[in-house]
Amino acid sequence: MGPSGSGKSTLLAAMAGFQQLDSGVIIFRQDDQATPPLPDRVAWIPQGANALGARTALDNVMVSALAAGLGIEEARRMGEYQLDRVGLAGSRSTLARHLSGGELQRVGFARALAAQKPIIFADEPTSSLDEANTELIADLLHSLQDTALILVATHDPVLVAAAQDGINVRRSA
């Protein structure tokens, strides 16, 4: 949590292994093993909506399931399931370029979930969502707490209230 420009997104990207630090070290500890951030172990939910515009919502979600090693039919089932979870069951066959910003953001969320990674990083995952869909995503994130480590950068009071723990990030002077 923190104001715009405080470094939330930068810290999240560094923790995910997508951005190098100027100084310091990030280490994950699991089962008495220490490892640096590894991008292939994380699912990333971007702040903005990004999708392949000429492909359907389902195709966009299936990409990560296929990359995770699922076969085509398994990836299709996974994609359908994840789109259902984010409230987009009726938009499976809609081309991404015809989706709203909030729908695209939920496609990105479903795509990250379809990767089935043990760590989920979400950068302002509700920034384009209305109140009802923000609640849906907050509930979904809460339901995932037992299956994945979830780190979220946000200003959203709904996500803050739903979080198990929080860290306030402030701009340094």
Asked whether residue 2 is assigned to any structural domain, the reply reads: no
In a domain, 34, yes or no: no
* Domain-located, residue 113: yes
pLDDT at 173: 57
Q: Which residue has the higher pLDDT, 79 or 160?
A: 79
In tens, the pLDDT along 64-116 reads 999 999 999 999 999 999 999 999 999 999 999 999 999 999 999 999 999 99
* 157 in any annotated domain: yes
Domain membership of residue 122 as a residue range: 8-15+39-162
Domain count, the chain: 1
Domain membership of residue 90 (yes or no) is: yes
Instruction: Return the CATH number at 71.
Output: 3.40.50.300
**56 in any annotated domain:** yes
Report the alpha-carbon distance of residue 169 to residue 6 in Å, rounded.
6
Strand 149-153 relative to strand 42-45, pairing: unpaired
Q: Is residue 172 part of a domain?
A: no
Note the residue count of the chain: 173
Whether residue 49 is contained in a domain is answered as yes
Report the distance separating Cα 69 and Cα 72, nearest Å.
9
16-57 pLDDT tens trace: 888 888 888 888 887 788 887 777 888 988 887 789 999 999
Phi, psi of 39 (to 5 degrees): -55, -30
